Amino acid sequence: MASVELQNLTKRYGPLAVVDDVSLRIEHGSLVCLLGPSGCGKTTTLRLIAGFVEPTEGNIRVGDRLVSSPALTLPPEQRKMSMIFQSYALWPHMTVTENVIYGLKLRKLDRDTIRKKLDAILTTTKLKELAERYPGELSGGQQQRVALARALIVEPETLLLDEPLSNLDANLREEMRFEVRRLHDAYRYTTVYVTHDQSEAMTTADLICVMNAGKIEQAGTPEDIYDRPRSEFVARFIGSSNVIKGKNLDDAHISFAGARLRVTGAKLAAGGETAVSIRQHDIRLSKTAPQQKDNVVPATVVRQVFLGGSRDYMVEVADGTQLRAVTGAGEAIAQGSAVFLHLPAEHCRALTG
């Protein structure tokens, strides 16, 4: 079984730790996304797994085989992996067919098998008509599919993808996201997918690792990451969250803009401040004061925009903090009106990371 395990993996360039003590176990057949802003170390992690980069500390195991350690790094060609590069790295002097069967020829398969496999993969990736073209004569989406076909045809134990969709336009990107997932489900190899696009990660991954400054900030299912961010970085990076700050009152309450907020998540320390995240669409707005007293904050509407299916409000509370709230399209509250925000306790997550 080809699980991939990173143990205390560190890569330093001079004093700078690009990958900083990363430990992660990727089960066989699962699809893991390394998600993070540019420069967070996700691509270096991937290249460490591929064997293009040698670790400074820690090691990488595939199954029970040690493939990377500071002492010994197995060269990429002996790892039984495949990779799709951000640039696709298609060889411009070879046709689509020649590109795709390159790996099979290296594995010394006989002609009939090669032809059969080529046929199958070209059908799956809808490249049949383009088989004799050169990469320079293909569109971006077609090039991407050639890269996919070239990587998949060798039936790797592990597939590595480095921002494979970032060069495509928006429509195609959405389509190919599902394609990547579909092919993964069909072939069931272990996949490591690097991206900076959270919706790409959400639609494809079994497990998302949000990375920041060389470390994994949080690893979890898409639901985990979205609903239960552990740190301010994750909450902000995953998007559409307000992050507010308040004084701790006890282990589950903070004071925010004069109101008392009950929050969920980890227990709060006595004294000190806590950052709390709440999603834009979890905030409820009303003109009249709701019945319960807890978790209600008075505010003023700074602006509101009608978005067709919803309304996007910017509101300001007493201490000057601005929050965004997305509500149904029905209720229109004019700019400048006083409103009451209800921040449901189950959606107020204390960020302790």
Partner 1 sequence: MSVLTSTAAERRPARIDFSRPILYGFAAILIVLIVLPLSWLLLYSVTDRAGSLTVENFIRLFSESAFLDPLITTFIIATSSSFLCCAVAAPMGWLVARTDLPMSHVIRALVTASFVTPPFLGAIAWELLAAPNSGLLNKIYRVVTGAPQDEHLFNIYSLTGIIFVISCYTFPYVFVLVANALDRTPGELEDASSILGGKRWYTARRITIPLVLPALIAGALIAFLQAMTLFGSPAILALPAGFHTMTTKIWSLFQYPPKPELAAAASLPLLVLTIILLRAEHMILGRRGYSVVGGKYGTPRLIPLGRGRWPAFALCILVLLNPVFLPYAALLNAAFAPVASHFLTFSTFTLHNIEFVLFELSATKLALRNTVILGTATATIGLLIALVIAYVTARKAVTGHRLLGFLATAPVAIPGIVLGVGLFLSYTRPPFVLYGTLWILLIAFLTISLPSAYQQLQAAFRNIHPELEDASRILGATRLQSLRQITAPLLRTSVIATWCFIFVGVMRELSAAIILFTSETKVISVLIYDLNESGDLGAISVIGIAMLLITFAVVIMVNRIPGFGVTSVRLRT
d(CA 353, CA 348): 15
Task: Provide the minimum distance between the beta carbon of 219 and partner 1 in the complex, in angstroms, as a whole number.
Answer: 25
Choice between 88 and 313, CB closer to partner 1: 88
Choice between 194 and 244, CB closer to partner 1: 194
* Contact residues for partner 1, defined by CB under 8 A: 50-52, 75-83, 85-93, 102-103, 106-107, 134-138, 143, 150-151, 154, 160, 166-167
d(CA 99, CA 146): 8
Task: Provide the minimum distance between the beta carbon of 189 and partner 1 in the complex, in angstroms, as a whole number.
Answer: 14
Choice between 82 and 327, CB closer to partner 1: 82
Task: Provide the minimum distance between the beta carbon of 85 and partner 1 in the complex, in angstroms, as a whole number.
Answer: 5
Choice between 14 and 75, CB closer to partner 1: 75
Choice between 44 and 248, CB closer to partner 1: 44
Task: Provide the minimum distance between the beta carbon of 178 and partner 1 in the complex, in angstroms, as a whole number.
Answer: 22
d(CA 280, CA 324): 6
d(CA 293, CA 345): 12
As given in the structure block, the two tokens for residue 122 are: 């070209």
Integer angstrom CA distances of residue 103 from 98, 99, 111, 308: 10, 8, 13, 50
Task: Provide the minimum distance between the beta carbon of 252 and partner 1 in the complex, in angstroms, as a whole number.
Answer: 47
Choice between 154 and 225, CB closer to partner 1: 154
Task: Provide the minimum distance between the beta carbon of 168 and partner 1 in the complex, in angstroms, as a whole number.
Answer: 10
Do residues 4 and 61 lie in contact, with contact meaning Cβ atoms separated by under 8 Å? yes
The phi and psi torsions of 262 (rounded to 5 degrees) equal -90, 135
The number of C-alpha atoms within 13 Å of 110 and in the hemisphere containing its C-beta is: 2
Choice between 150 and 279, CB closer to partner 1: 150
Q: Which long-range contacts does 28-31 make (Cβ < 8 Å, 24+ apart)? A: 28/1, 28/2, 28/3, 28/190, 29/188, 29/189, 29/190, 30/190, 30/191, 30/206, 30/207, 31/181, 31/184, 31/191, 31/193, 31/204, 31/205, 31/206, 31/207
Task: Provide the minimum distance between the beta carbon of 321 and partner 1 in the complex, in angstroms, as a whole number.
Answer: 39
* 3-state secondary structure (DSSP) of residue 134: coil
